[in-house]
Amino acid sequence: MKLRTSDGTTITIESKPFAKGGEGTVHKIVAPASHTKFCAKLYLPKVINAEKQQKIEYMVANPPPETVTENQIICWPQAALFGSNKFVGFIMPLAFDNSILLYELCRPKLSKKHNHRWNKFNRNTKQGFEARLKLCTNLAIAIHRVHSLQNYILVDFKPQNVLVTNSGKIAILDCDSVQISKDDKVIFPALVATPEYVPPESERLNPSKDKIHPSWDRFAMAIVFYEIMFGLHPYAATFGGKFIDINTLPGRIREGLFAHGRNKQHLISLPPPHKTFDYIPHNLKVLFQDAFDDDDLRPSAETWGKAIVQELATGIKIRFPKAVPTKALAKSTKPEVKLVRKEPVELQLPKNNQINLKKNQSRGIQLLQTKQGSAVMASAALAMVGMLAFGMEGALAGFFGMLLVLLTGGSDNP
């Protein structure tokens, strides 16, 4: 298939896409040779409109600095694409070869389908933890570049929108979903977000119409860093007292229930991978606590990058718990989707879990939350999941939570 770029170049793309998404397909460019390190994103006809074309043209004319470097690629639009003189999409840099989704490294254990070259990311060794910190640094550098122009917000940053190599190189995807503002006015809105990665202020702010601050991305970035380091979501824990019925990740985010945060006195069950948090350098602990417990103190990408580089330069001093379980945890991160309907709660992994911000969002992002019945039933279910995921230690933690609920009757006492 032949198409023309906005700078007048005729390109040939493979007819079969190598990737698909909710808005379109991605194809390799086979000619000319000067463009084979790029790929073409073709939008579905139903999403093409004048605003979409204007947004891409604005991004092409105003890119962040250094979108392609040795260790980071920001898959930013490089030129608009036309077929039969009609706008059809854009070209962008290809990600690094042999990449996998970052989501794979955010799970408790790397899938067996990935070979031994990925063992360097074993988070239960000092070397593996350092490799993960270097990966976080590459992400921080790329996000800092996007934010440096002060008019781009990613809005939907999550592990499913990042590709990573076994040497820690990264590529940020889906950049065309950013919100763009100028002079405090939104000129191109963001239309999708994922509830497990949006901050509490999403209750009152809607990126499809309200100007979003970089703090929004800083919150999502901290969640992703936590998942990289520890293998689970920072809000994946069970709380009692007045929080006994808050049993989804979006609900816990809204209530400020970070596993190591200001409400930790209400914890009744903490999945074992969280325990490694107690052994990491103090400066990194503080960054996580600032990110999740204080909206005004969320560390920027630059702050994270400098702090991690300093820790690596001075030599990471980290002890590990005697045993950090590596069996698969109930998945707490979910792939994207355009959402309008409610999805199952976090112990299941639906294929889609994005929300469409333009529909029914008069009060900002309406986070998805499904109640799980009584507190006792929820704790009993957690005990079963704990036994399956972590053996007897997880089961005891879950049953202890159930017993505590029975004894306290769901009071606010820790």
Give residue-wise pLDDT tens across range 20-53.
988 999 999 999 999 999 999 999 999 999 999 9
Per-residue model confidence (pLDDT) at position 111: 85
Give the Cα separation of 205 and 364 in Å (integer): 5
Averaged pLDDT score across all residues of the chain: 83
**Does the pLDDT of residue 213 top 70, yes or no?**
yes
* Residue of 283, 268, 279 whose CA lies nearest to 322: 279
Residue 286, in any domain of the structure: yes
The SS3 assignment for 192 reads strand
**Does the pLDDT of residue 339 top 90, yes or no?**
no
Residue 169, in any domain of the structure: yes
* 86 and 104 together in one domain: no
Burial class (CB in 10 A: 0-12, 13-18, 19+), 413: exposed
Per-residue model confidence (pLDDT) at position 115: 79
Taking the model in full, what pTM does it have? 0.80
* 147 and 211 together in one domain: yes
* 87 and 114 together in one domain: no
Number of domains in the chain: 2
Q: What is the Cα 105 distance to its own chain's centre?
A: 12
Please indicate whether residue 333 or residue 126 has the higher confidence score (pLDDT).
126
* 114 and 142 together in one domain: yes
Give the Cα separation of 98 and 165 in Å (integer): 6
The answer to whether residues 239 and 257 touch, using CB atoms and an 8 Å cutoff, is yes
Question: What torsion, rounded to 10 degrees, do the Cα atoms 106, 109, 111, 114 define?
Answer: 80
Residue 173, in any domain of the structure: yes
Residue 261, in any domain of the structure: no
Please indicate whether residue 99 or residue 112 has the higher confidence score (pLDDT).
99
The answer to whether residues 29 and 36 touch, using CB atoms and an 8 Å cutoff, is yes
The answer to whether residues 331 and 159 touch, using CB atoms and an 8 Å cutoff, is no
Per-residue model confidence (pLDDT) at position 356: 64
* 83 and 172 together in one domain: no
Per-residue model confidence (pLDDT) at position 353: 63
Give the Cα separation of 135 and 116 in Å (integer): 18
* 199 and 281 together in one domain: yes
* 150 and 231 together in one domain: yes
* 110 and 188 together in one domain: yes
Residue 139, in any domain of the structure: yes
Select from 326, 356, 386 the last residue of a domain: 356
* 290 and 146 together in one domain: yes
Rounded mean pLDDT, 317-341 = 47
Residue 264, in any domain of the structure: no
Residue 85 identity (one-letter amino acid): N
* 146 and 172 together in one domain: yes
* 88 and 220 together in one domain: no
The answer to whether residues 27 and 18 touch, using CB atoms and an 8 Å cutoff, is yes
The answer to whether residues 55 and 77 touch, using CB atoms and an 8 Å cutoff, is no
Domain that holds residue 20: 2-93
Rounded mean pLDDT, 57-66 = 97
**Does the pLDDT of residue 348 top 80, yes or no?**
no
Residue 400, in any domain of the structure: no
Residue 294's pLDDT band (cuts 50, 70, 90)? confident
* Chain segment 217-256, per-residue pLDDT in tens: 999 999 999 999 999 999 999 999 999 999 999 999 999 9
Residue 349's pLDDT band (cuts 50, 70, 90)? very low
* 104 and 137 together in one domain: yes
The answer to whether residues 61 and 71 touch, using CB atoms and an 8 Å cutoff, is no
The answer to whether residues 61 and 118 touch, using CB atoms and an 8 Å cutoff, is no
Distance set, CA 398 to CA 108, 229, 247, 374 (Å): 18, 23, 14, 15
Per-residue model confidence (pLDDT) at position 41: 97
CATH of residue 55's domain is 3.30.200
DSSP strand pairing (86-93 vs 152-153): unpaired
Lowest mean pLDDT across 210-224, 279-293, 353-367: 353-367
Rounded mean pLDDT, 330-342 = 36
Distance set, CA 168 to CA 153, 196, 202, 307 (Å): 24, 24, 31, 18
Per-residue model confidence (pLDDT) at position 253: 97
* Chain segment 107-138, per-residue pLDDT in tens: 998 888 887 889 999 998 999 999 999 999 99
Residue 130 identity (one-letter amino acid): E
Residue 18's pLDDT band (cuts 50, 70, 90)? very high
Where would I find the H helices in 62-147?
A: 126-147
DSSP strand pairing (170-172 vs 72-74): parallel
The answer to whether residues 181 and 211 touch, using CB atoms and an 8 Å cutoff, is yes
Select from 77, 93, 109 the last residue of a domain: 93
CATH of residue 107's domain is 1.10.510.10
Residue 225, in any domain of the structure: yes
Select from 356, 380, 407 the last residue of a domain: 356
Per-residue model confidence (pLDDT) at position 237: 96
In a 13 Å sphere around the CA of 333, the CA atoms on its Cβ side amount to 27
* Residue of 181, 217, 184, 211 whose CA lies nearest to 199: 217
Give the Cα separation of 333 and 349 in Å (integer): 8
